[in-house]
Structure 1
Amino acid sequence: MDDFLAARSQMALSLGFHIIYACIGMVMPFFMAVSHYKWIKSKDDRYRQLTKAWSKGVAIFFATGAVSGTMLSFELGLLWPEFMKHAGPIFGMPFSLEGTAFFIEAIALGFYLYGWNRFNPWFHWFTGVVVGVSGLASGILVVSANAWMNSPAGFDFDNGTYSNIDPIAAMFNDAWLFQSIHMTLAAIAATGFAVAGVHAFMILKKKNVDFHTRAFKIAASFGTIAALLQPISGDLSAKDIAVRQPAKLAAMEAHFHTSEKAPLIIGGIPNEETETIDYAIELPGMLSFLAHGDFDQEVTGLDKFAKEDRPPVLVTHFAFQIMVGIGMFMMLLAVIFFLSYWKKQWLDRRWFVKLFALATPLGFIAVEAGWTVTEVGRQPWIIHNVMRTADAVTPMPGIAYSFYIFTAIYLSLTVVVIFLLNRQIKMVPLLYDQPEDKSNH
C-alpha cells in the first residue's frame, strides 16, 4: 500500500467510525430529555429509569466520540499538512466554535449525570437539553467545515496564493445549509431507528416489555419523522449539487453523456472504460427533473470533464444507490409506523416489531454510504477545483504503518463500546427494579 492510499484509507476509517459516534452523540440526548420530561410531568417511574439508562449510553458515546474526534483533528495536520497550511486560516472558525460547543456539552453532561437528587428538577432537565443542543451544534459546525471543501468560499485564489480571507463567508458557504440539514436529519433517522431497533428486539424477547415499549415509541417517533423529511432534504441537496458539483452528480447517477431528458438510473453496474451502465432501470427525463425541475433540461455528464478530473464512478454510484434504497425503505417503515400507531395496533403485529429490529443498522449504513458519496464524489479534489488530494498529502514515509495502528485502535474502541452497551442493556432489569428516591424530585 503506497502512502497516498494509506493516508486516504486512514482518514476514511477514522471518519467512518467517528461519524457513528457523532450521530448518536448529537441525537440521543434529545431522547433522554423527552423521557426525563415525561417523568417530571407524569411521575411514572419507568420514565425515570429509562432516562437514567439512556444517560449512561449518552456518556459512553460522548467519551468515544471525544476520543475519535481528537484523533481526527491530529490526522488532519499529520496526513494533510499542505491542506491545513492553506485551509486552516480560512475554515478554522467552525472548528474553533465546535471546540467551544464541545466544552459546553461536557460541562452540561457532568451536571446532568451527577445532578440527580441535587438540582431543581427542571434545571436538571434543562442541563440535559443543553447536552443535546451543544452536541447538535458541534455536528453542524463540523459539517460546515466539510461543506467548505465542497464549496470553497471566503478567499481569493490566484497562482497558488490565498488572499482576502473571510472566515465568516467560508463558514457560511453555499453548501453548508443543505449539508447541515441533510446530515442532521440523517443522524436523527439513523439513531432513532437504531435505538428503536434495540428496544424492539427486547420486546420480541418479552423482557420488560412495558419499559422497552416506552423507549421504542420515543426513539421510533424521532427516527420516522426524520425519515419522512429526509427525501425533501435530499432533493434540495441534489439540485444544489447539480449546480455546484456537476461531476459529483454525474458520478452518483453514472451519467456518462451530457443529454437532455436525462434518465434517472436505478441500480446498474457502471463501466468506466466503455462509459456505459449495464443492468440498470432507466426512468426517462427524471434526472433532468430532479436536478433542474424540468423534464427537458440538459444534465451535464462526465464527458464534459477530463478523465483525471472525474470522481470514481463505481464507488460513488453504488454508495448513492445504497443510501437512496435504504432511505426509501425507512420511509416505508415510517408510514407503517404512523398508520399502525394511529390504529393502535402497532404492538399487536409481531412482524411490525421484527421489521424495526431488523432495521437497527440500516440508518447507519445509509449514513456511511452518504458520507462516501460526499467524499469520494469530490475526488480528485480535497478543496473542490482548488487543491487536489494528491497535492495535500504528507511527504512523510511509513503512513501504511500508521494506518494499521489506527485500524487496531478503532477496532479495539469498538469492542469496548459494544461490551459497555451490552452490559448496560443487561442492567436494565436491575435498574427497573430499583425503587425511586423521592428525597428531592
Structure 2
Amino acid sequence: MDQVVLARSLFGTTMAFHIIFATIGVGLPLMILIVEILYQFTGDSDYALMAKRWTRGFAVLLGVAIPSGTIAGVQLSLLWPEFMKVVGKVIALPFQIEIFAFLLEALFMSIYVYAADRLSRGMRIISVALVAFGAVMSAILITNVHAFEGTPTGFRLVNGEIVDVHPWQAFFNPSFAVSAGHVTVSAYMTGAFVVASMAAFKMLKRGLVEKEYVFHRKALLCGLVVGGLFSVLTAVNGHASAQHLYREQPEKLAAAEGLFETQRYAPLAIGGVTDRETHEVKYALEIPWALSFLADNRFDTEVKGLNEWPEEDWPPLFVHTLFNLMVGFGFLLLAMSIVGFTWRRLLKRDSFPRWMIWGFLFSGPFSMLAIEFGWIFSCTGRQPWILYHMMRTAEAATRTGNLGMLFLLFTGVYLLLAVATIVVLRAYFKRHPLGDDLVGGDLIGGEEADLHV
C-alpha cells in the first residue's frame, strides 16, 4: 500500500477512535451542568443523582480520552514531519493554550468529584461550569489546527522556507469562528443524545420499578430536548459552514454536491452516487436552485464546478456520500427529539411505547456516526492538500517504513481500550445499581453524602 495512504489510514484510525471520547468528553459535562442547575433550582433529587452517576461515567471516559489524544499528538510528529515544521513555527499557540484549558478542566473535575459534598450550591455549579468550559476550549483549540489547514494564514512559504510569521493571525484564521462553532454545537448535540440513548436502553429493561422508570424518563427527555436544540444550532452552523466553503474552499463544496459544471441556480443533490466518467450524480434527488442559495443566500449565485480545477486537485468524489450521511443523521436526530418532546410534553403521556424507545436507543450511535462522517468529510474533502493550496499531503508525509505494522498494532490497542472501557463501565454500574442510589444517600440541600467517586 502507498506510504501516504498508510500514514493517512493510521492517523485516521487514531482520530476515529479518539473523537468518540473527545466528543462525549465535551458534551457530557454540559449535561452534568444542566442537571446540576435543575437540581439546585427545583430540589428534585433525581437530577442530583443524574449528575452523580454521569460524573462517574465521565471520569472513566476521560481516562481513555487522555491517552488516545496523546497518541494522536505523537503520531502528528511521526507521520507528518514537514507539516509539523509549519505547526512549530506558525500555529503552535493552540497546542500551548490547550494545556491550560485541560488543567482547568482537570482541576475543577477533581474538586467536583471529591469535594462536592463540601461545596455550596453556587460553587458546585461554578465547578461543573469550569469543567465544561475547559473541555470545550480544549476541543476548540485543537480543532483550530485543523481549521488552519483549510485556510492557512499568518505566514508565507518562499523556496520552501517559512517567512513573515504572524502567530495570532494564524490562530484567528478565516476558518476559526465557523470551526469553533461547529465543534461546540455538534459535541453538545452528541453528548445529549448519548444520554438519551443510555436512558432509552435502561427503559427497555423489563421489571423496572416506578421510581427507576421516572428517573430514566427524565434523563431521556433532558437528552432529547438539549440534543434537539443543538441539532438546530448545528444545522444553522452547517449553513454558515457551506457559505465558508463557497468562499474559501470552493472545490470542496463542489465535490460535496457532485457539481462538475460552474452554474447559476445550481441544484442541491440529495443522495445518489457521484460518477467521475459521466460527471453527474446518479440516482440523486435534486432541489432546484438550492445549492446557490446555500452558498450565498441568493438563488442566482454562481457556484464553481469541479471542472474549474485540474482533476488531480479534485477531492475524492465519495465525499458527497459522507456529506449526505452527516446531514441525514443530523435531521433524523432532530426529528427524534421533536417526536419525544411532543409525546411527553404536548400530549402529556406518562410512558413511551416500546417502538419509540427503540428509536431513541439509536440516537446516541446515530449522533456519533454523524460526527465520524463529518470529520472524515472535513479532512478528506481538503485532499490532496494538508495545507490548502500550499503543501500537498504527499509532501508532508513521513518516509519511514513499517507503517503497516504500526497500523495493525495501534488498531489492536484501540480495540483493547474499547473493550476495557465497556467492561469497566459495566462492572462499576453493576456494583452501584440505580436502585441502591435511589433509596440511599441524603440528597437534601446539596449535601449528598455519597456524591464523590
Common fold: TM-score over 0.5: yes
User: Which of 350-359 and 260-269 deviates more?
Assistant: 350-359
Distance in 2 (CA, whole Å) between partners of 1:332 and 1:437 is: 35
Equivalent residue, structure 2, for 1:178: 178
C-alpha distance in 2, partners of 1:242/1:65? Answer: 34
Q: Deviations over 1:368-389 (max 9, x none)?
A: 1111110000000001111000
Shift in Å, 1:42: 3.9
CA distance in 2, matches of 1:18, 1:30: 19
CA offsets 1:48-67 (integer angstroms, 9 cap, x no match): 32211011111112111111
Report the CA distance shift for 1:346/1:240 in structure 2 as closer, same or farther (over 3 A): farther
Kindly indicate whether residue 328 of structure 2 is the aligned counterpart of residue 325 of structure 1: yes
Once the two structures are superposed, the pairs formed by residues 246-395 of structure 1 within 5 Å of their partners are: 246-314=250-318, 316-345=319-348, 347-350=350-353, 351-395=355-399
In 2: Cα distance, 1:296 partner to 1:39 partner: 51
Residue matched to 1:158: 158
Paired residues for 1:59-98 under 5 Å: 59-98=59-98
Assess, with a 3 A threshold, how the Cα gap between structure 1 residues 342 and 217 changes in structure 2: closer, same or farther: closer
Instruction: Flag the 1:122–1:19 CA change in 2: closer, same or farther, 3 A.
Output: same
Give the aligned residue type for 2:112: Y
Work out the CA distance in 2 between the residues paired with 1:317 and 1:430.
49
Alpha carbons 2:30, 2:188 under 8 Å: kept: no
For 1:12, the equivalent position in structure 2 comes to: 12
Query: In the TM superposition, what is the alpha-carbon distance from 1:221 to its structure 2 partner?
Result: 2.1
Q: Distance in 1 between matches of 2:298 and 2:395?
A: 39
User: Sequence identity, in percent?
Assistant: 33
Instruction: Quickly say closer, same or farther: Cα 1:41–1:335, change in 2 above 3 A.
Output: closer
Say whether 1:131 aligns with 2:131: yes
Is the Cα contact below 8 Å between 2:193 and 2:227 reproduced in 1?
yes
CA RMSD of aligned residues (A): 1.8
State the partner residue of 1:429.
435
Measure, in 1, the Cα distance between the counterparts of 2:183 and 2:445: 42
Give the letter for the 1:432 counterpart.
L
Alpha-carbon offset, residue 78 of structure 1: 0.6
| Aligned equivalents of 2:348, 2:446: Cα separation in 1 | 38
Inter-partner Cα distance in structure 2 for 1:28 and 1:205: 23
Deviation at 1:158, TM superposition (A): 2.6
Aligned 8 A contact 1:346 1:352 in 2: no
Q: Deviations over 1:44-102 (max 9, x none)?
A: 33223221101111111211111111111101101111110123221110111111101
Q: Which runs of 5+ in 2 are unaligned?
A: 448-453
Q: Which amino acid aligns with 1:12?
A: G
CA contact (8 A) 2:267 2:289 kept: yes
Q: Which residue of 2 aligns with 1:220?
A: 224
> Is residue 2:413 matched to residue 1:409?
yes
* TM-score of the aligned structures, taking structure 1 as reference length: 0.95
Q: Which moved more, 1:116-125 or 1:255-264?
A: 116-125
Superposed CA offset, 1:258-291 (max 9, x none) = 2222111111111223323211122221111111
Q: Give the deviation of 1:437 after TM superposition.
A: 6.9
The DSSP-based 3-state class of the residue aligned with 1:436 is coil
Q: 2-side partners of 1:46 and 1:278: how far apart?
A: 52
Q: Distance in 2 between matches of 1:132 and 1:87?
A: 27
Distance 1:242 1:159 in 2: 30
Give the residue type in structure 1 aligned to 2:250.
P
Q: Is the 8 A contact 1:200 1:357 kept in 2?
A: yes
Cα deviation, residue 146, structure 1? 0.9
**Cα drift, residue 156 of structure 1:** 2.1
Alpha carbons of structure 1 residues 30 and 439: separation in structure 2 relative to 1, 3 Å: closer
2:364 match: secondary structure? coil
What's the counterpart of residue 247 of structure 2? 243
- In structure 2, give the amino acid aligned to 1:30: L
CA distance in 2: counterparts of 1:86 and 1:182, whole angstroms: 25
1:3·1:398 contact (CA, 8 Å) conserved in 2?
A: no
Q: Tell me, yes or no, if structure 1 residue 45 matches structure 2 residue 49.
A: no
